[in-house]
Amino acid sequence: MCRCPHRLVPNVATLHDYRVTILPQHPSDGTGRRRPSLVVSRATRILADAGVESARAEAELLAAHVLGVPRGRLALADDFTGEQVDRFDALVARRAEREPLQHLTGVAGFRHLELLVGPGVFVPRPETELLAGWAVEQVGGHPAPLVVDLCAGSGAIALAVAQEVPAARVVAVERSPAALPWLRRNAAARAAAGDRPVAVVEADVTDPDLLAELVGSVDVVLCNPPYVPLGVTVPPEVAGHDPAEAVFGGVDGLAVVRPVVARAAVLLRPGGVLGVEHDDTHGTTVPELLSADGRYVDVVGRSDLAGRPRFATAFRRADGPHAAAAGTWQTGSS
């Protein structure tokens, strides 16, 4: 889940320059109701002035949220009532103060899912959908893959894999007492919707004995760890609302990545695969860590849709002194 500043925040003045308390009166048709197009246009200007990227899209999403309609049907929606205008204005004011959109609506979209999010859990980012999609490609042809998602947070990666690969057994690992309730709620909701239940494990991914019962049997290990180096300036949505322990990964950003690389090699069966997201400054560093470990082959650094280094993948060796005794499996995708 991308925590990089260049995507989320433009170069703008301080938030206090755009503090919003009351929005100007919206034009109406004389009945006290407000047309969605006018309401959205005024909100767009306010959000743009506050430095919010994609201001129009976010204004439309907030409007759709208040009206209880999909964004694509906003043009066909009934006019805002006075009460709805007040509620919408309050949400726009909070967004102008750079409270995350997802905290205001209570949900975050991720691939084909809508996940509950809020204070205490990291908001999943679109960039991480690429890692989840890569994992789905890896296990799509396997009859009963075992997939482990480390640093699961809201459960975005784990639940996406479980939904898209019904045969998969998925384990989601998270240690944060604040994030775990969100993970469990999302897992319960997806199970109720008919997806195969995801096993939630409360544990520290840096524990050298993590998931000891699964050693040598895991087909895919995935991880979106905290990876921003300490001291890096992050967008106000991240700095003020995402949990610091889910964002920052030590002085060099690799404090969690290193033990994950080591433990994944123990958990994976020979021929199993690892995918780990990383900071865009680690485009060579993380692949080098994987290669230097000695237990991985076919190490590949992968970019996001903007061309920035985003995650690295590797196969567990199936031969040589570092190979384990278990059987192997591979797919045609790497």
Distance between CA 301 and CA 149 in Å, rounded? 19
Among candidate residues 2, 13, 9, 65, the one with its CA nearest the CA of residue 235: 9
The answer to whether the annotation marks 174 as part of a ligand binding site is yes
The HSE-up count of residue 263 (CA atoms within 13 Å, CB side) is: 23
The token duo for 132 is 């989840």
State the sign of the Cα–Cα–Cα–Cα dihedral 125, 282, 263, 178. negative
User: Do strands 113-116 and 146-150 pair parallel, antiparallel, or not at all (unpaired)?
Assistant: unpaired
Q: Residues 208, 211, 214, 217: is their CA dihedral positive or negative?
A: negative
Q: What are the distances in angstroms from CA 325 to CA 10, 269, 271, 328?
A: 52, 8, 11, 9
Is 224 annotated to bind a ligand? Reply is yes
Helix ranges restricted to H, the chain = 5-8, 36-49, 55-67, 82-96, 101-105, 128-139, 156-164, 180-192, 236-241, 257-267, 285-293
- The answer to whether 202 is a known ligand-binding residue is no
Binding-site annotation, residues: 174, 224-227
Binding-site annotation, residues for substrate: 224-227
Binding-site annotation, residues for S-adenosyl-L-methionine: 174, 224
